[in-house]
Amino acid sequence: MQHSIVSHTRTQQAIALEDKYGAHNYHPLPVVLDRGQGVYVWDVEGKRYYDFLSAYSAVNQGHCHPRLVKAMQEQAAEITLTSRAFYNSKLGSYAEYVCRTFGYEKMLPMNTGAEAVETAIKMARRWGYKKKGIARDQAKIIVCEGNFHGRTITIISASTDPDSNTDFGPYTPGFVTIPYNDIPALEKALEDPTVCAFLVEPIQGEAGVFVPDEDYLGTAIKLCKAKNVLFMADEVQTGIARTGKLLASCHSHGCDCTSGTCRNGEYSHKPDVVILGKAVSGGMYPVSLVLANDAVMEVFTPGSHGSTFGGNPMAARLAMEALEIVKDEKLAENAERLGRLFRAEMQKLVEEFPYVKLVRGKGLLNAVIIEPRKAADGSPKTAWELCLLLRDNGLLAKPTHGDIIRFAPPLVITEEQLMECCRIIALSVRQFA
């Protein structure tokens, strides 16, 4: 390869290479990161930023947590991958650990969030045939408008977002779509006896942090139970303390896991299936899993599902350490407390600036809605332009849908750091005028 002799900054060079050789399936904010620690990331020029995306909530424990770095280094020198053709010394204790932590009888380990969602879909369909008695190939799964569950062909077949699914057909059949946060629509859809499951995010993250009504999940769980339909919570983004409880679905039954111990298992009205990913490994490595009780999970038999990397000793070791960090550092409590503070600070901006429309969220998963405008010279002023100002002022966040900015810092953020971030956001909003 011939290198250009034109002198580039390291930023321009890295961006040019990604643009030239990488598929354009993302539209990144122009900043090139190469180091992270806790709530901070540094770009290749040495400038420091607060990370307010946290890799879509995968680094709740903060970047390069020293305990995770140590666990990864140690495990890398022992053994990393055995495949499930053999037992390994870490998976059993990891499986026990997550089952006890979240209150389920069984877990199934995968790698990415989308794989865990696929696993849940397969499990629900098979459960529908073997346990509920639905006629073969007739099982349906209810999903919500605006959902985000991943990127596979089957998952985008359940998506209503044209950016995600246009020109990727033919689609996988078997999904019924209803509006989010709409109990009557769910009741109606549940009348169909061929429905095996309701797959839903406790808060719609990618759609722009849509928080449903307080009683939505609890009511939905009860309705599903009454109709012998599996309630499957996709907690890939909302789980692992992000919303102020270990699982966001715990908000629906008053489980006390803000204070550290999740009692999800003690509640009869809890999700039948929980799907986790992202922060399960604290951002070190793709680790996902599906949780359910025996009566559901037992539909999987040898050969019916699997993954070469799923349940590997590195993943098991990292996930246990990452979940221990969440407990030891009281990250759920921190998310709950600082989330309230953050929304209160953002509310001040909503009141002061007419183009800051709204703040919403739970714990440290929040979004601010910006009214898109035009500058005096006619150029657009959208959430993207505000994110560029935030970047220049030392804070990284990503816009979605043109007018929404999600704010989701690592949960290890301190009150002092959070207040500094609120000042950075306020300054940027002022400059946006």
Ligand X SMILES: *Cc1c(COP(=O)(O)O)cnc(C)c1O
Nearest residue to ligand X, by Cβ distance, number only:
113
Helix (H/G/I), strand (E/B), else coil: 169: coil
Antiparallel, parallel or unpaired: β 404-407 and 398-400: antiparallel
* Binding segment (CB under 6 A) for ligand X, from list 67-75, 112-120, 125-133, 393-401: 112-120
Catalytic residue among 278, 309, 398, 432: 278
Q: Indicate whether 201 belongs to the interface with ligand X (CB under 6 A).
A: yes
Q: Is residue 258 a contact point for ligand X (CB under 6 A)?
A: no
245 vs 238: CA distance, rounded Å = 9
- The nearer residue to ligand X, 56 or 175, going by C-beta atoms, is 56
**Distance from C-alpha of 362 to C-alpha of 202, rounded to nearest angstrom:** 11
What is the C-alpha to C-alpha distance for residues 239 and 151, in angstroms, rounded to an integer?
19
Residue closer to ligand X by CB (options 31, 200) is 200
Q: Does 277 bind ligand X (CB under 6 A)?
A: yes
Of 218, 245, 232, which Cα lies nearest the Cα of 365? 245
Q: How far is the CB of 255 from ligand X (least distance, A)?
A: 20
Query: Is the distance from CB of 277 to CB of 236 less than 8 angstroms?
Result: yes
When asked if residue 310 is in the footprint of ligand X (CB under 6 A), the reply is: no
Which one of the listed residues 148, 198, 231, 342 is annotated catalytic? 148
Query: Which position among 150, 202, 361, 409 is part of the footprint of ligand X (CB under 6 A)?
Result: 150
Query: Does residue 244 touch ligand X according to CB under 6 A?
Result: no
Q: Which tokens belong to 38? A: 């806790």
Tokens 């509006």, residue located: 179
Task: Indicate whether 243 belongs to the interface with ligand X (CB under 6 A).
Answer: no
- Our CB check for ligand X shows the closer of 202 and 349 to be 202
Is residue 51 within the footprint of ligand X (CB under 6 A)? no
Between 209 and 426, name the residue whose CB sits nearer to ligand X: 209
The answer to whether 109 contacts ligand X (rule: CB under 6 A) is no
N-term to C-term CA, the chain: 45
d(CA 184, CA 223): 10
Binding of residue 53 to ligand X (CB under 6 A): no
Stretch that binds ligand X, among 34-42, 184-192, 234-242, 290-298 (CB under 6 A): 234-242
Whether 187 contacts 226, CB under 8 Å: no
Q: Least distance (Å) from ligand X to the CB of residue 180?
A: 13
Contacts of 138 (CB under 8 A, 6+ apart): 194
**Which residue among 43, 51, 234, 403 is the active-site one?**
234
75 and 319 Cβ atoms separated by less than 8 Å: no
| 240 is a contact residue toward ligand X (CB under 6 A) | no
Q: What length does the chain have?
A: 433
Q: Residues 40, 404, 383, CA angle at the centre, nearest 5°? A: 75
Segment near ligand X (CB under 6 A); pick from 106-114, 136-144, 401-409, 416-424:
106-114
Q: Which of 49, 127, 148, 180 binds ligand X (CB under 6 A)?
A: 148
- Asked about 215 being catalytic, the answer comes back as no
Please choose, out of 27-35, 71-79, 146-154, 391-399, the segment that lies near ligand X by the rule CB under 6 A. 146-154
Give the CA-trace dihedral at 265, 269, 271, 276, to 10 degrees.
Answer: -40
Active site residue 278: yes
Active site residue 234: yes
| Rounded Cα gap, residues 160 and 175, in angstroms | 11
Which residues neighbour 69 within 8 Å (Cβ) at sequence distance 6 or greater?
Answer: none
Among 51, 234, 272, 385, binds ligand X (CB under 6 A): 234
The stretch near ligand X (CB under 6 A) out of 143-151, 172-180, 265-273, 331-339 is: 143-151
Cis peptide before 170 (omega within 30 of 0): yes
Q: Is 205 in the site for ligand X (CB under 6 A)?
A: yes
Any idea which residues carry the catalytic annotation? 148, 234, 278
